[in-house]
Chain A
Amino acid sequence: MAAGVATWLPFARAAAVGWLPLARKTMPRPPVDKSSRSDEILFVNVSGQRFQTWKNTLDRYPDTLLGSSEKEFFFNEDTQEYFFDRDPEMFRHILNFYRTGKLHYPRHECVQAFDEELAFYGIVPEIIGDCCMEEYRDRKKENQERLAEDTEAGEATDTPLPDSATSRERLWRAFENPHTSTMALVFYYVTGFFIAVSVIANVVETVPCRPLKGTVKDLPCGEKFSLAFFCMDTACVLIFTFEYLMRLFAAPCRCKFARSVMSVIDVVAIMPYYIGLVMPENEDVSGAFVTLRVFRVFRIFKFSRHSQGLRILGYTLKSCASELGFLLFSLTMAIIIFATVMFYAEKGTKGSSFTSIPASFWYTIVTMTTLGYGDMVPNTIAGKIFGSICSLSGVLVIALPVPVIVSNFSRIYHQNQRADKMRAQQKVRMARIRMAKKGTANAFLQFKEDGGLGDPDSNSSALCLKNRSAFENQHHHLLHCLEKTTNHEFTDEMAYSEMCLTESVGYRTSRSTSLSSQQGALNNGCCPRRARRRAAMRLANSTVSVSRGSVQELDTFPVKSTNLPQQTRSSLNARAVDIKLNCSDRDYTAAIISIPTPPSNTPDESPPSSPAIPGILRNTRATAYLQDAVKISSL
């Protein structure tokens, strides 16, 4: 609803005084306005920046957040103002919308951030004023295209296949992204080589070679060495056919694959050979057969799988297809017009080469593209005048769509370059997300290790426990409830894989019965649980040597180090070995730091993210465990 309607209503009601003397019946009673009509200034605090506005200003748009009762959810009683934890810079534009009725788009802001703010305040983006609408729409479309590309690139070929992929999926992946395996790479280069060989053979075939003995005429090489060329052609076609059939087999959607441009090119490249095989050696038909050989040159397009530049060119032409179509259409119109005019202008002259309108087409095209062969020249004055107009207009008509095509090409080229960067960024982002997930999982396991499941009020809990945030405590409590519900415990991947190993060896029956009985008996108390866990871990550890370090993923490493609060280091220094080493890492990324350092070394007071400190902690743990491991394995 426009701002105008609400604010002009009192005027319209006052203007009704003109009807009163003329009325035939008595006027109805006016509605009683229960809410206080007096206007007041509202204070809106957006991240510390205070805005003030009349209540009426905000009430102009009752279907937005600020205009409806939804803003009461954000009212702060203590300071008697509305507090929003959002961007104050953007809020300025939002508030201006209420004041002026026009929403402007700030050009230096990210379009997505602006959209989010609009969504939060309940404002529909279509209200953006005409002055800023185009810019907003362009930026938004660009953003959407970019995001669409990213999701395509993301779900495409770089993530490793799950183990359950069938051989067909693996084959398809090998074809789409040759860098996944060496076999695929070899195949990729071999096909590329054969494409080149085939194209060169096609070209060399027609070069005139020295004539045979006894003849005078120069012979094209293809006829002189016909057998050799035939063998080469056969080999190439066999390889192309094999490749095409393999791709067809491996394609997840054969229909879609068969329609795709590349497969059409493949088919067109190999069909002439097969048609030539089945064609009888007939004189009249072989003429057509020769024309078919022209299609062999399409093999050169197979290179587009191997060359990114060709693909970019193809995309450019596809994306500016409408501009190209427009160019062709307007050229055709111009050609017809000028050809007709030239024909009728030159009709009278004797011996003129403008014999018909289609014959004049050639002249028009040559003139408009400024080629000017000179094989057809106008002789009359009128013809010359129209001819010059033709060449001038030709320059204009052709020059107009070219910048559009060029800008499209440049955009696609840059997009392509960005796609590679985006893929690299995606990898980093996925690694970070995986790390964060592992972090939360391992944080909980850490929590249990540190005896957090015991009585939270007892004094025996380590210092590190008390420093955990309320959020962490509650989250860990939630995970603990889940464990209790299912009567299973969370472990980490290492222990799990060890358990799988040991189970397969045959420890299963004895260990599971003893431990399950223990589990049933014990409901609380951290010490027995921790002892049990330690026993399980030691049993697990004993079977595998330190080579485990190489198995562990590198990216799990940095997260642990940031979880360590300050006190643990000092407590570790105090009583090096006999302390329970509560808050040390359980991770064995021994690959990074292989030199064992004694725990009495004072760790340097560098920021927690330095690798040295966890290394020290880790290695003490490692030594402690290895000692125990030695003992247990003798069982």
Chain B
Amino acid sequence: MSQCRKRCRRQLTKVARYFYRFVTGTLTQDSIEDDFELSTVCHRPESMDKLQEQTKFTKKELQVLYRGFKNECPSGVVNEENFKTIYSQFFPQGDSSMYAHFLFEAFDTDKNGSVSFEDFVFGLSIILRGTINDRLNWAFNLYDLNKDGCITKEEMLDIMKSIYDMMGKCTYPNMQDEAPREHVENFFQKMDRNKDGVVTIEEFIESCQKDENIMQSMQLFDNVI
């Protein structure tokens, strides 16, 4: 309600100004300021040679990636809204906005609220062309929401809930409310070696390296591009 009142006050001053202009017969001026608001947030990525050095993609792959990126976002950067919209197109049944938000945070390494092509390509390079340890590191970074080096149960619960949200309502068997929590307990049992309630990066990598399934599935996305 308070922003309602603030809006009221602003509107009253607007009305007063309006009446003044009416009485003195001033015609409305073309507001020039409106034009300069949006646009001109144009970001140009570094040259392809530099990107080739810094990532593990070939020239052709970079070209393909950039063309797709530029098509979706001609201004050169993705903001969170666009990112969420793009990601939600792949999960029509559920709500992928929370997970997209976490992904956005993981890609946006310089924390400026937008993902440029470099951020995008660096992230992808780690995931698709990095070593298994790199990929595990990246995943850990994704889970660690406050980037303090360890995953607490609350952080994991948030991530888990966002993943389960993507499934949507119509699942088989029926989605129980405790399913994410159970899954988190499972995860901590497996990963938390010293049972101190948090999973550090070393515990995480160690536990993952011991699990055959995880190691195998890490190579799943090698041929994505």
Contact = CB atoms under 8 A, between A and B. Distances in A.
A120 B74 contact: yes
Interface size class of B (residues with CB under 8 A): 35 or more
Given A482-B163, A482-B167, A475 B90 contact: yes
Interface stretch (B35-43, B125-133, B149-157, B200-208): B35-43
Contacts of B179: 486, 488
B39 A125 contact: yes
Contact of B35 (A137, A483, A496, A515): A137
A592 to B, nearest CB: 23
A512 B173 contact: yes
Given A326-B25, A326-B27, A329-B24, A489 B172 contact: yes
Contact of A495 (B5, B26, B91, B172): B172
Interface size class of A (residues with CB under 8 A): 35 or more
Contacts of B139: none
Contacts of A73: 45, 48, 62-63, 66-67, 70
A536 B163 contact: no
B170 interface: yes
B92 interface: yes
B172 A255 contact: no
B190 interface: no
A119 interface: yes
Contacts of A140: 35
A493 interface: yes
A489 B75 CA distance: 38
B211 to A, nearest CB: 14
A205 interface: no
Contacts of B35: 125-126, 137, 140
Contact of B169 (A74, A479, A496): A496
Interface in A20-49: none
A441 B25 contact: no
Interface in B158-202: 163-164, 166-175, 179, 183
Interface stretch (A64-72, A458-466, A550-558): A64-72
Contact of A253 (B4, B74, B90, B172): B4
A414 interface: no
Interface string A208-220: 0000000000000
A490 interface: yes
Interface string B18-53: 100111111110100001100110101101100000
Nearest to A330: B25
Contacts of A474: 224
The list of the 8 closest CB pairs from A to B, nearest first, reads A329-B25, A496-B170, A325-B22, A437-B92, A119-B74, A488-B171, A69-B47, A73-B66
Interface of B: 1, 4-5, 7-8, 11, 18, 21-28, 30, 35-36, 39-40, 42, 44-45, 47-48, 62-63, 66-67, 70, 74-76, 90-93, 163-164, 166-175, 179, 183, 220, 224
6 contacts: A85-B67, A126-B35, A322-B27, A488-B179, A500-B174, A516-B173
